Amino acid sequence: MARRTGKGRKAKRAVLSRLKPDEAQAVLNQLLALHPELAGEAEEIAQVLLSDVSFEAVADEVESALRFPDLDDLNARAGPSRWGYTPPDEAAWELLEEALQPFIDEMTRYVELAMEKQALEICQGILLGLYRLRDAEDHEVLQWAADFPFEVASRVVKTWSEAKRPKDSAEGASHRHPTLPRDFVSEHLPEWQDLITK
């Protein structure tokens, strides 16, 4: 009998470990509804989980994501279609913007959560990833959108700086339009100092 109970527990844990994100969210919501006393502990775990952000890791992910679209992706997007003609440079921009958008969304989410330090790390990571690709002559898609890293970098800074911050947080009040740390820009983005510090 004890063995069956052990197997039953293992089976339940196996199910939990295989849940999709939306299913895991539903389980957490139900668990907190049944046990509201766990809300504080769940919040602390979430804070710790979300706090671990480094701009170097984000830069690596951004660079990888922007290098992922290849010539086949470009050819599938560019050229004639039933909606008209899409030039290769326009198709390249679309592919790169789609690859970058999840990082911008994540940065904005952290701002909205009043996690300013982490939002800044993500912003810096995005910029560094873009900066690494500023002369990516070896990549077919980036060749068609050579100005992409430079032009998008200024938009990223503007999005981060002007993102809506929670009014009720001390950080929200004191960081209405924050600026990037000059030492980060001079050390990691030296060729873009004029663009970034405007």
pLDDT digits (tens, 9 = 90+) for 116-145: 999 999 999 999 999 999 887 778 888 888
Sign of torsion over alpha carbons 171, 174, 179, 181? negative
Selection from 101, 98, 106, 78 nearest residue 90 by Cα: 78
Residues 6+ apart with CB under 8 A from 111: 119, 160, 163, 164, 165
Residue 116: what pLDDT? 92
Residue 82: what pLDDT? 63
Residues β-bridged to residue 85: 80
Which secondary-structure segment (H or E) carries 79? strand 79-81
Residue 121: what pLDDT? 95
Residue 2: what pLDDT? 47
Residues 6+ apart with CB under 8 A from 27: 16, 19
Residue 9: what pLDDT? 55
Residue 83: what pLDDT? 64
CB count within 10 Å of CB 133 equals: 19
Per-residue pLDDT for the chain (198 aa), expressed as one digit of tens each?
444 455 555 555 678 778 777 777 787 777 778 767 766 766 666 565 555 688 999 999 999 999 988 878 887 877 666 666 777 888 899 999 999 999 999 999 999 988 999 999 999 999 999 999 988 777 888 888 888 999 999 999 999 988 888 875 555 445 567 888 889 999 999 999 877 765
pTM of the predicted structure, to 2 decimals: 0.74
Residue 76: what pLDDT? 80
Radius of gyration of the chain (CA): 22
- The three-class DSSP label of residue 19 is coil
Mean of the per-residue pLDDT values of the chain: 80
Residue 62: what pLDDT? 96
CA 163 to chain centre: 14
Residue 24 CA neighbour count, 13 Å, CB half: 9
CB count within 10 Å of CB 76 equals: 12
Largest interatomic CA distance in the chain: 72
- The three-class DSSP label of residue 108 is helix
Torsion of CA 175, 190, 121, 141, to 10 degrees: 120
